[in-house]
């Protein structure tokens, strides 16, 4: 079905609104222009479109009723959590009904002995962390947006975070889910056990960016808190020395809990903001954390220091107190906020390369910046080759904006050429849909499309996301006018 | 809020938002990290009631994309101005410096369009509360009633319902008033070797209802080697005026305070109410918005603001002398928004409390989420205020405390009122109340 056929809501809207109010109550439906405006975009602000209405269900039954109503009237619908997507995952393409899951945020069950918890999709990631504090367990995926993003959104985008290097991404921590399929049927995927027989439908669902249905409950795995950790800061003359050290550390068989790189530009901004005492003349620093048993971490830390020194580290400092560790992490997690000190606007890209290609892509980024006369700084999850080059510019200068777009595309294309990808953790959404046919063959895409059709045959659920569907509204051809300015990574 | 009070409801927006430096909007990159820190978003899940949403709305109105309709207005009015979003924001957005001047514009354009302030604004918010002598006198009947236990009779037979709704709420908020303590003198000497000369800021409502805490603060300062100066000509901080649109009167009060403490020649001006402290520290920003480039205003206010210290902040910088009196109490500490978010003071009060022998401090879940007091918010937005009070109460009870500690008069009133509603007899203390008792070797019970 084409989007033209789907966007017929204007005629049927008044009747649907009445039905929706019956389902969730009048207080839980937004339909006026001024109430819908804030829902026209998420953390990705380049494409905008308001939904026809926003509903706030509180139970699975209400979600089912909403989805069935949408099917009955052939109206598109899109789930939304906290709206922190950096790729337009929550953009209501074609308008329709936006299902806000923010009121389904109950922590239904915590079972420490079997190491799982059952939560609503609207549960904020950090609220689960806080709820588990003191139990000796935690939910491992910790995207830098964890203070606001929801578990449901994490499931949709298969989120990462600094600690995914050792602990894995979201899919490794989801045991099961209750899902309302795009036709309104409720299914249970997976369960409470670590291994379920049959197809791994949970694994298929995680990362489907809302195109396979609306998740209404999530069973998450709980991980034991590490007994001890050591946090270090490696100081390097050049970015290349730092990236060589990363390969050296991983090559030696050590998997740090986190391995983050900040280059000189970021060091300058972070130092001005937090005053940690970073050396301003260093080419790059590595934030390295190891965790595990008390007896093991010192040995690993010692090896890391030696490896860094072998690769030309000027010095390796250790965070001596919990306060110093917290400050170090604050510098990293809030690095993007500090960028305001360097430039009025910025745009962050999210690319991946094989770890061994890090020196190469970083060199390319520097060259690309010089070629387009755009200053680019770097802070990223170095351990898994997930780069986040930050392009600095002034959005009021349209010519500069053009150069930023060109440099961004060049960098992402280079990531693909080096055997990588155009998204490490933000998802495809609508932002990167045009890269899909560079990443995959037509056959690959057809196969993915057939999987989508199995779940979502009418395409009403999260239309025009992730896959560049042939003959559709042509989202893939939309030219971007402004680069995204993103903070949370 | 009733729509009839707002003549501007459906009219064109004029130059609303003109007081805001537009660059401050651009600091927001729309990442949404503020949302889960916002109490009203936590309660509703509606982005229109989140900081990111409100910035979007204000900017849309300023840009002329949206009119200030009653729905937009409601969403902006529901903001507590607790500034938890500023703590959460990685981009350093100064949310307070967006919503406050925007509200000021709204209030003033309402007035210009012929809207009159309500009797409540005129008589109570502006006329009575900011004047500590008047408030104190107004409380005399309440004191007498409480002494005779008439207040309980009035409440139990339902007579309180005859009062206008806002006065009913004020009645319910009224704490058990302490026996009248005398006015503080103009000067109290340091005990032991003198380490500093400090001014003590009294405020308005606080001095009428919590004078015992002012005495406690003065004694604690004396114990720590400070000579305490209490200028008679100091005034209310002006927050209530400013937040209800009366910017010039607020500025007048600010200048009066600057003059009073300048004359007193003190090393620091100590404040024990978080809300007043935040306002006093914001004077230069506010002056800049109201009267840009006026050095006759900016200079004295800047000089005062440099000296403003919360009592816990001041003592922690000075190096507190540890008290020795044991207080065996299991307590929990609630972070007042205007201390933890507006002033970024979190550890200092906890450190002071840890000095008290016997006091056990249990961490409070969601300690940084607003209790719903938020200045006069509990009077203007009763429904949300009550929801947040219940949320706070639930979290407090999880800690099974014998006492609650918080460093702001508004929070104290709100939590005490909720305790009474729930028929609990858990007392609420200012950290300095307990510190003072420990120095004096007296027990709180």
pLDDT in tens, A375-422: 999 988 888 889 999 998 887 788 988 899 899 999 999 999 999 999
Stretch A124-130: mean pLDDT: 95
The pLDDT score that the predictor gives to residue A68 is 97
Directed axis angle between helix B431-440 and helix B347-354, to 10°? 20
Q: Would you say residue A159 has pLDDT above 50?
A: yes
Taking contacts as CB-CB distances below 8 angstroms, the residues of chain A near B45 are: 56, 100, 102-103, 105, 122
The pLDDT score that the predictor gives to residue A481 is 43
CB contact under 8 A, B88 and A124: no
Please tell me the CATH code under which domain B3-112 is placed. 1.10.1060
Q: Which long-range contacts link A102-106 to residues 24+ away (Cβ below 8 Å)?
A: A102/A56, A102/A150, A102/B45, A102/B46, A103/A28, A103/A56, A103/A57, A103/A58, A103/B45, A104/A57, A104/A58, A104/A59, A104/A152, A104/A216, A105/A150, A105/B45
List the single residue in B with minimal CA-CA distance to A273: B92
Q: Above pLDDT 70, what percent of chain A?
A: 93
CB contact under 8 A, B56 and A43: no
List the single residue in A with minimal CA-CA distance to B75: A35
The pLDDT score that the predictor gives to residue A276 is 82
Q: Would you say residue A486 has pLDDT above 50?
A: no
Q: Above pLDDT 90, what percent of chain A?
A: 65
Query: In this structure, what token pair is assigned to residue A58?
Result: 């509180």
* A488 interface with B at CB cutoff 8 Å: yes
pLDDT in tens, A83-99: 999 889 999 998 999 99
Which of B29, B33, B67 has the CB atom closest to A147's CB atom?
B33
The Cα of B425 is separated from the nearest Cα of chain A by a number of Å equal to 28
C-alpha to C-alpha distance for A466 and A444, rounded to whole angstroms? 13
The Cα of A487 is separated from the nearest Cα of chain B by a number of Å equal to 6
Q: Would you say residue A257 has pLDDT above 50?
A: yes
List the single residue in B with minimal CA-CA distance to A395: B26
CB contact under 8 A, A488 and B26: no
Q: Would you say residue B189 has pLDDT above 80?
A: yes
Q: Which of A245, A329, A251, A327 is nearest to A291 (CA)?
A: A329
Q: Above pLDDT 70, what percent of chain B?
A: 82
* A147 interface with B at CB cutoff 8 Å: yes
pLDDT band at A469 (very low <50, low <70, confident <90, very high): low
pLDDT band at B111 (very low <50, low <70, confident <90, very high): confident
Map out the domains of chain B as residue ranges.
Answer: 3-112, 119-173, 187-317, 323-440
pLDDT band at B375 (very low <50, low <70, confident <90, very high): confident
pLDDT band at B426 (very low <50, low <70, confident <90, very high): very high
How far is the CA of B73 from the CAs of A92, B45, B49, B96, B198, in angstroms?
Answer: 25, 18, 11, 17, 42
Q: What is the DSSP letter of B321?
A: P
Give the residue with greater pLDDT, A226 vs B243: A226
CB contact under 8 A, B31 and A487: yes
How far is the CA of A235 from the CAs of A261, A304, B408, in angstroms?
Answer: 10, 13, 44
Lowest mean pLDDT among A252-256, A425-429, B114-118, B256-260: B114-118
DSSP B183-198: PP-SEEPPSSS--EEE
Stretch B139-147: mean pLDDT: 58
Q: What is the dihedral of CA B125, B128, B133, B136, to 10 degrees?
A: -90
pLDDT in tens, A260-283: 999 998 998 888 877 888 899 999
User: For chain B, which residues lie within 8 Å of any Cβ of chain A, measuring from their own Cβ?
Assistant: 23, 26-27, 29-37, 45-48, 50, 52-53, 56-57, 60, 65-67, 69, 71-72, 88-92, 365
What is the value of ipTM here, to two decimals?
Answer: 0.89
The pLDDT score that the predictor gives to residue B11 is 40
Alpha helices in A133-238 (DSSP H): 151-157, 164-167, 201-205
Taking contacts as CB-CB distances below 8 angstroms, the residues of chain A near B62 are: none
Contacting residues for B345 by C-beta, under 8 A, at least 6 apart: B310, B312, B313, B339
Q: Would you say residue B199 has pLDDT above 50?
A: yes
Q: Would you say residue A6 has pLDDT above 60?
A: no
The pLDDT score that the predictor gives to residue A194 is 78
How far is the CA of A89 from the CAs of A48, A146, A208, A427, B390, in angstroms?
Answer: 12, 17, 10, 8, 35
CB contact under 8 A, A45 and B27: no
Chain B interface, best mutation among A46, A329, A487, A489, by max B CB count within 10 A: A487
C-alpha to C-alpha distance for B276 and B339, rounded to whole angstroms? 10
The Cα of A38 is separated from the nearest Cα of chain B by a number of Å equal to 6
C-alpha to C-alpha distance for A475 and A454, rounded to whole angstroms? 22
pLDDT band at B26 (very low <50, low <70, confident <90, very high): confident
Chain B interface, best mutation among A35, A99, A144, A397, by max B CB count within 10 A: A35
Assign domain B323-440 to a CATH class. alpha beta
C-alpha to C-alpha distance for A441 and A439, rounded to whole angstroms? 7
Q: Which helix (H) or strand (E) holds B428?
A: strand B428-429
pLDDT band at A2 (very low <50, low <70, confident <90, very high): very low
CB contact under 8 A, A42 and B32: yes
C-alpha to C-alpha distance for B256 and B202, rounded to whole angstroms? 13
What's the angle, vertex CA A358, arms to CA A352 and CA A360, rounded to 5? Answer: 115
The Cα of A240 is separated from the nearest Cα of chain B by a number of Å equal to 28
Q: Would you say residue B73 has pLDDT above 70?
A: yes
Q: Would you say residue A478 has pLDDT above 60?
A: no
Contacting residues for B231 by C-beta, under 8 A, at least 6 apart: B186, B199, B260, B261, B263, B264
The Cα of A212 is separated from the nearest Cα of chain B by a number of Å equal to 24
How far is the CA of B186 from the CAs of B97, B183, B234, B263, B399, in angstroms?
Answer: 35, 9, 11, 13, 41
The pLDDT score that the predictor gives to residue A474 is 38
Evaluate whether B36 touches A148 at the Cβ level (below 8 Å). Answer: yes
Give the residue with greater pLDDT, B271 vs B104: B271
Contacting residues for B426 by C-beta, under 8 A, at least 6 apart: B396, B401, B402, B403, B404, B419
CB contact under 8 A, A147 and B91: no
Lowest mean pLDDT among A461-470, B74-83, B151-160: B151-160
Q: Which residues of A400-412 are buried (b: 16+ CB within 10 A; e: fewer)?
A: bbebbbebbbbbb
Chain B interface, best mutation among A81, A146, A148, by max B CB count within 10 A: A148
pLDDT in tens, B381-423: 999 999 999 999 999 999 999 999 999 988 999 999 999 999 9
* A332 interface with B at CB cutoff 8 Å: no
Chain A interface, best mutation among B91, B365, B384, B387, by max A CB count within 10 A: B91
The pLDDT score that the predictor gives to residue B256 is 95
Q: Would you say residue B358 has pLDDT above 60?
A: yes
Which of B35, B66, B67 has the CB atom closest to A148's CB atom?
B35
The pLDDT score that the predictor gives to residue A249 is 92
Chain A interface, best mutation among B88, B90, B95, by max A CB count within 10 A: B90
Average pLDDT value for chain A: 89
pLDDT in tens, A176-210: 999 999 999 999 999 998 777 889 999 999 999 99
The pLDDT score that the predictor gives to residue A125 is 97
CB contact under 8 A, A337 and B89: yes
* A337 interface with B at CB cutoff 8 Å: yes
The Cα of A333 is separated from the nearest Cα of chain B by a number of Å equal to 8
Q: Would you say residue B27 has pLDDT above 70?
A: yes
Query: In this structure, what token pair is assigned to residue A51?
Result: 């939904």
Which of A126, A337, A345 has the CB atom closest to B36's CB atom?
A126
The Cα of A196 is separated from the nearest Cα of chain B by a number of Å equal to 34
List the single residue in B with minimal CA-CA distance to A330: B90
Query: In this structure, what token pair is assigned to residue A172?
Result: 């490794």
CB contact under 8 A, B36 and A105: no
List the single residue in A with minimal CA-CA distance to B88: A147
Q: Which of B324, B348, B332 is nearest to B439 (CA)?
A: B324
Query: In this structure, what token pair is assigned to residue B127?
Result: 């006329």
The pLDDT score that the predictor gives to residue A333 is 77
CB contact under 8 A, B90 and A42: no
The pLDDT score that the predictor gives to residue B147 is 57
The pLDDT score that the predictor gives to residue B399 is 96
The Cα of A194 is separated from the nearest Cα of chain B by a number of Å equal to 30
The pLDDT score that the predictor gives to residue B89 is 86
Taking contacts as CB-CB distances below 8 angstroms, the residues of chain A near B91 are: 336-337, 340, 487
The pLDDT score that the predictor gives to residue A273 is 77
Q: Would you say residue B150 has pLDDT above 50?
A: yes
pLDDT band at A471 (very low <50, low <70, confident <90, very high): very low
C-alpha to C-alpha distance for B337 and B406, rounded to whole angstroms? 10
Stretch A127-151: mean pLDDT: 93
C-alpha to C-alpha distance for A325 and A263, rounded to whole angstroms? 19
The pLDDT score that the predictor gives to residue A322 is 85
The pLDDT score that the predictor gives to residue B205 is 76
The pLDDT score that the predictor gives to residue A5 is 47
pLDDT in tens, B91-110: 788 999 999 899 888 888 88
List the single residue in B with minimal CA-CA distance to A337: B91
pLDDT band at B362 (very low <50, low <70, confident <90, very high): very high
Lowest mean pLDDT among A413-417, B173-177, B293-297: B173-177
The Cα of A128 is separated from the nearest Cα of chain B by a number of Å equal to 12
Give the residue with greater pLDDT, A286 vs B27: A286
List the single residue in B with minimal CA-CA distance to A488: B31
What's the angle, vertex CA A235, arms to CA A331 and CA A369, rounded to 5? Answer: 75
pLDDT band at B148 (very low <50, low <70, confident <90, very high): low
The pLDDT score that the predictor gives to residue B115 is 66
What's the angle, vertex CA B257, arms to CA B251 and CA B261, rounded to 5? Answer: 150
Q: Is the dihedral of CA B56, B62, B65, B70 positive or negative?
A: positive
CB contact under 8 A, B69 and A100: no
pLDDT band at B77 (very low <50, low <70, confident <90, very high): very high
Evaluate whether B428 touches B445 at the Cβ level (below 8 Å). Answer: no
Evaluate whether A76 touches A446 at the Cβ level (below 8 Å). Answer: no
Stretch A230-254: mean pLDDT: 92
Identical topology for domains B3-112 and B187-317: no
The Cα of A58 is separated from the nearest Cα of chain B by a number of Å equal to 11
Query: In this structure, what token pair is assigned to residue B363?
Result: 């961490």
The Cα of A193 is separated from the nearest Cα of chain B by a number of Å equal to 31
Taking contacts as CB-CB distances below 8 angstroms, the residues of chain A near B37 are: 147-148
CB contact under 8 A, B71 and A105: no
Q: Would you say the pTM of this structure is higher than 0.95?
A: no
CB contact under 8 A, B47 and A124: no
Please tell me the CATH code under which domain B187-317 is placed. 1.20.1050
Pairing of strands B329-334, B359-362: parallel
């Amino acid at each position: 079905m084409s989007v033209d056929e789907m966007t017929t809501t204007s005629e049927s809207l008044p009747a649907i609104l009445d039905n929706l109010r019956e389902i969730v109550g009048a207080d839980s439906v937004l339909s006026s222009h001024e109430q819908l405006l804030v829902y026209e975009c998420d953390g990705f602000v380049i494409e905008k479109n308001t939904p026809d209405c926003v509903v706030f269900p509180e139970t699975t039954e209400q979600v089912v009723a909403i989805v069935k109503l949408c099917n009955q009237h052939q109206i598109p619908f899109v789930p939304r959590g906290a709206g922190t997507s950096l790729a337009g995952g929550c953009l209501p393409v074609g308008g329709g009904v936006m299902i806000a899951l923010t009121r389904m945020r109950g922590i239904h069950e915590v079972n420490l002995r079997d190491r799982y918890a059952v939560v609503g999709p609207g549960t904020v990631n950090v609220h689960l962390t806080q709820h588990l504090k003191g139990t000796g367990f935690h939910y491992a995926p910790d995207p830098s947006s964890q203070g606001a993003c929801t578990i449901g959104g994490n499931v949709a985008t298969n989120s990462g975070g600094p600690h995914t290097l050792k602990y894995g991404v979201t899919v490794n921590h989801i045991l099961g889910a209750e899902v309302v399929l795009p036709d309104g049927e409720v299914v249970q995927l997976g369960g409470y056990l670590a291994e379920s027989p049959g197809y791994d439908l949970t694994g298929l669902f995680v990362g489907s960016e809302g195109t396979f249905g609306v998740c209404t409950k999530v069973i998450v795995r709980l991980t034991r808190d590490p007994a001890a950790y050591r946090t270090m800061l490696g100081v390097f003359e050049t970015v290349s020395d730092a990236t060589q050290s990363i390969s050296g550390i991983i090559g030696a068989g050590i998997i740090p809990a986190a391995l983050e790189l900040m280059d000189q530009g970021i060091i300058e901004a972070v130092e001005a903001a937090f005053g940690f005492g970073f050396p301003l003349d260093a080419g790059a620093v590595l934030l390295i954390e190891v965790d595990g048993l008390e007896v093991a971490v010192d040995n690993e830390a010692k090896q890391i220091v030696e490896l860094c020194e072998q690769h030309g580290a000027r010095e390796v400092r250790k965070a001596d107190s919990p306060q110093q560790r917290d400050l170090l992490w604050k510098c990293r997690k809030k690095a993007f906020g500090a960028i305001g000190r360097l430039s009025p606007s910025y745009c962050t890209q999210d690319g991946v390369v094989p770890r061994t290609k890090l020196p190469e892509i970083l060199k390319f980024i520097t060259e690309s910046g010089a070629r387009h006369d755009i200053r680019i700084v770097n802070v990223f999850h170095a351990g898994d080759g997930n780069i986040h080059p930050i392009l600095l510019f002034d959005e009021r200068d349209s010519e500069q904006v053009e150069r930023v777009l060109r440099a961004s595309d060049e960098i992402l294309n280079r990531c693909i050429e080096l055997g990588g990808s155009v998204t490490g953790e933000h998802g495809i959404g609508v932002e990167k849909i045009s890269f899909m046919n560079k990443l995959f063959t037509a056959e690959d895409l057809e196969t993915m499309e057939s999987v989508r059709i199995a779940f979502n045959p009418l395409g009403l659920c999260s239309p025009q996301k992730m896959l560049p569907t042939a003959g559709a509204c042509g989202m893939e051809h939309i030219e971007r006018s402004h680069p995204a300015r993103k903070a949370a990574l | 809020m009733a729509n009839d009070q707002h003549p501007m409801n459906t009219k064109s927006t004029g130059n609303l938002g003109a007081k805001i430096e537009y660059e401050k909007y651009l600091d927001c990159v729309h990442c949404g990290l503020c949302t889960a820190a916002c109490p009203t978003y936590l309660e509703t899940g509606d982005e229109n009631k989140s900081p990111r949403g409100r910035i979007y709305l204000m900017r849309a109105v300023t840009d002329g994309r949206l009119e200030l309709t009653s729905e937009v207005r409601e969403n902006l009015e529901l903001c507590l101005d607790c500034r938890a979003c500023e703590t959460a924001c990685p981009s350093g957005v100064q949310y307070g410096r967006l919503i406050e001047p925007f509200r000021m514009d709204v209030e003033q354009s309402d007035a210009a369009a012929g809207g009159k302030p309500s009797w409540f604004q005129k008589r109570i918010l502006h006329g009575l509360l900011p004047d500590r002598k008047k408030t104190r006198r107004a409380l005399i009947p309440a004191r007498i009633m409480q002494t005779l236990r008439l207040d309980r009779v009035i409440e139990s037979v339902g007579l309180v319902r005859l009062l206008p709704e806002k006065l009913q709420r004020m009645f319910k908020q009224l704490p058990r008033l302490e026996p009248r303590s005398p006015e503080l003198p103009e000067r109290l000497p340091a005990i032991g070797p003198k380490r500093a000369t400090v001014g003590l800021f009294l405020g308005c409502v606080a001095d009428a209802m919590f004078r015992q805490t002012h005495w406690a603060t003065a004694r604690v300062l004396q114990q720590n080697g400070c000579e305490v100066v209490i200028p008679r000509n100091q005034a209310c901080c002006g927050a209530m005026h400013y937040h209800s649109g009366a910017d010039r009167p607020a500025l007048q009060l600010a200048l009066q305070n600057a003059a009073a403490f300048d004359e007193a020649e003190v090393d620091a001006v100590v404040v024990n109410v978080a809300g007043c402290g935040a306002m006093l520290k914001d004077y230069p920003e506010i002056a800049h918005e109201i009267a840009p480039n006026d050095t006759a205003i900016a200079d004295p206010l800047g000089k005062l603001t440099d000296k403003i210290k919360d009592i816990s902040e001041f003592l922690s910088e000075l190096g507190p002398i540890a008290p020795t009196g044991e207080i065996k109490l299991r307590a929990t500490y609630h972070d007042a928004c205007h201390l933890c978010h507006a002033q970024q003071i979190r550890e200092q009060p906890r450190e002071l409390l840890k000095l008290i022998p016997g006091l056990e401090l249990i961490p409070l879940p969601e300690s940084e989420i607003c209790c719903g007091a938020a200045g006069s918010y509990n009077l203007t937005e009763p429904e949300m205020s009550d929801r947040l009070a219940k949320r706070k109460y639930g979290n407090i009870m999880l800690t099974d405390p014998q006492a609650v500690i918080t460093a702001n008069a508004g929070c104290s009133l709100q939590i005490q009122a909720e305790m009474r509603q729930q028929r609990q007899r858990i007392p609420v203390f200012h950290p300095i109340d307990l510190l003072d008792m420990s120095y004096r070797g007296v027990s709180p019970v």
